[in-house]
Amino acid sequence: MTKINLWAQESFEYEYEDGLLLVNGQEISPAMLIHTLEFGLRQMIRDAGAGEKEDDKRNAAAFKKIDALIAGTLRQGTGGGKRMDPVERRAREIAMRKVEAAVFAKKLGWTRKAMQDHADALYKRDAEKLHNEAIAELAATTETSEDILADLGL
Classify residue 77: in a domain, yes or no: no
User: Cα(87)–Cα(134) distance, rounded to whole angstroms?
Assistant: 6
Q: Does residue 59 sit in the same domain as residue 114?
A: no
Is 19 in the same domain as 67?
yes
Say if 13 falls within a structural domain. yes
Q: Which domain holds residue 116?
A: 84-154
Q: How many domains does the chain have?
A: 2
Do 88 and 153 fall within a single domain?
yes
Does 122 reside within a domain? yes
**Whether residues 66 and 2 fall in one domain:** yes
Q: What pLDDT, on the 0 to 100 scale, is given for residue 78?
A: 46
- Burial label for 96, CB within 10 Å (0-12, 13-18, 19+), is buried
Radius of gyration of the chain (CA): 17
Residue type, 103: V
Which of residues 11, 38, 71 is at a domain's end? 71
What is the number of other CB atoms lying within 10 angstroms of the CB of residue 31?
8
Digits of tens for pLDDT over the chain (154 positions)?
Answer: 778 888 877 888 888 877 788 898 889 888 888 888 888 888 888 888 888 889 999 999 899 888 888 877 766 454 445 566 778 888 999 999 999 999 888 888 888 888 899 999 999 999 999 999 988 887 776 454 555 555 566 5
Is the entire prediction scored with pTM above 0.75?
A: no
User: Residues 27, 21: contact at Cβ < 8 Å?
Assistant: yes
